[in-house]
Structure 1
Amino acid sequence: MSRELKIDAKELSKYSREKLDKFIEYIRGRIKCEVTSEGENIILKGEDIDKRYVKTLAKRFLYIEGVIDDFRVLVKNEILFLRERRKIKMKKTSH
């Protein structure tokens, strides 16, 4: 039974196209499956694709690249999202 997992890397692509290309190569080197790129999306096709493992690899890649604080990795159904973190601005209070 072949599985397919889509990685939505639109926000990583906006951040840096070079990082997206590095991420594709990083995934190819660690998972034994077919990895194709469709613009800003990455499609993984294979027998034993574990969503949890792919999420861990994505987090590890972001850590290695030094951008783990800028992105979140979310999984919903068969889609893994690389989303940019929202920066919360704290109001200054005067005492």
Structure 2
Amino acid sequence: MDRPVGPVLRMCDEVESVISAIRDDNPESDIEVIDRGSYVRVQAPGRVRVTEASLQRHLGPSFELRSLETMLSSFAGRISTTSDEISWEWTTRREGATR
């Protein structure tokens, strides 16, 4: 896979639901899931996103986006967060960098 990005999730009861939410939010991407036993790497080329709405559809209406942080052991790519979405994106430079 060229330029893989995405979350690395600690293995827990909710991990399959999180993967389903990520698949829902990225219908145009071929999401790859690599199970390493104690963690799962979820990745796609270039950009991956997950929304609070999708997580709530799969995990219940009380699930808050910030709760995903407790499952997140690592990630690949540049992470961006808003009040209703987390995304990981491939980038070679930081915005505003002069070099």
Please report the TM-score for the alignment, with normalisation by the length of structure 1: 0.47
Higher strand share: 2
Q: Between Structure 1 and Structure 2, whose CA radius of gyration is higher? A: 1
Higher helix share: 1
Please report the TM-score for the alignment, with normalisation by the length of structure 2: 0.46
